[in-house]
A = this chain, B = another copy of it.
Amino acid sequence: MNILEKISQSQSAFSKSERKVAEVILANPQTAIHSSIATLAKMSNVSEPTVNRFCRRLDTKGFPDFKLHLAQSLANGTPYVNRHVEESDGPEEYTKKIFESTMASLEVARQSLDINVINRVVDLLTQAQKISFFGLGASASVAHDALNKFFRFNVPVIYFDDILMQRMSCMNSSEEDVVVLISHTGRTKSLVEIAQIARGNDATVIGITSKDSPLARECSLVVSLDVPEDTDMYMPMASRIAQLTLIDVLATGFTLRRGTKFRENLKRVKDTLRESRYDKKPAT
């Protein structure tokens, strides 16, 4: 957790002199990280050991360690903190908070990923005869995006956001097919049923969902993405971004596995779009 926030929140746990130190640091943290314990003590009108004790109270090993933490908090303003949007926030605040918490969630998501599973999934995708991406609600747009990416690879790829179409498609799947099911909660009934149908036809079912969910249990392979979601908003936000980034990773893995020639092919696909676009200004 961000140590600057910690300082302002722990105010009550501090003693009188420690609070003086806290004030000085919060007032000008940039100066604090470039000061020695002696100068900081003088600035706060307390003794050096008091500063040291202050550091310890914040669960750091000592003053130098504290400075490191502080420096990290200051690195990019105060980035990657999972602060929640509040009723009183203006446009500036909520924009900042949403961007920052999205970034924080991506970091958490990245750390929760199992690289071996990613590698296996890329393996399966490259070997697939046909790839299907299915999701519902917010995850539908993720599946939609996956379609857009994999479509460029010139592989048979399918996407539906209609349950019945999804079902029918899975009924017709076979051993060489890969079905990717996307769901943040992993508790959407119809998706779980679809997993069962696909598995019944010996298709490989890959789940992009949270682990230990009903959907996860029905999949051949699960890429678990554990992302903290701000439930106050009643909308999926961070989970969706993490899923999309994962799609990027899988698509990238796919192209790398296919080699250089394949990449040239991608360029051709992109170039085809040129006709539908206005030219770029020459002098830009």
Which A positions have Cβ atoms within 8 angstroms of B? Answer: 33-34, 64-65, 67-69, 71-77, 79-80, 85, 87, 89, 91-92, 94-96, 98-100, 102-103, 106-107, 109-110, 113, 115-116, 118-119, 122, 137-138, 140-142, 144-145, 148-149, 152, 185, 187-190, 192, 212, 214, 233-235, 237, 240-241, 244-245, 248-249, 251-253, 255-256, 260, 263, 266-267, 269-270, 273, 276-281, 284
| Docked CA distance A34–B65 (Å) | 8
Contact B95 A240 (CB under 8 A): no
| Docked CA distance A85–B190 (Å) | 37
Q: Which of B68, B103, B116, B119 is within 8 Å of A106, CB to CB?
A: B103
User: With A110-B96, A235-B266 as given contacts, are A253 and B91 in contact (CB-CB < 8 Å)?
Assistant: yes
Cβ–Cβ < 8 Å partners of A116 in chain B? 91
Contact A95 B266 (CB under 8 A): no
Q: Which of B68, B85, B91, B115 is within 8 Å of A91, CB to CB?
A: B115
Contact B140 A99 (CB under 8 A): no
Contact B152 A145 (CB under 8 A): no
Contact B94 A245 (CB under 8 A): no
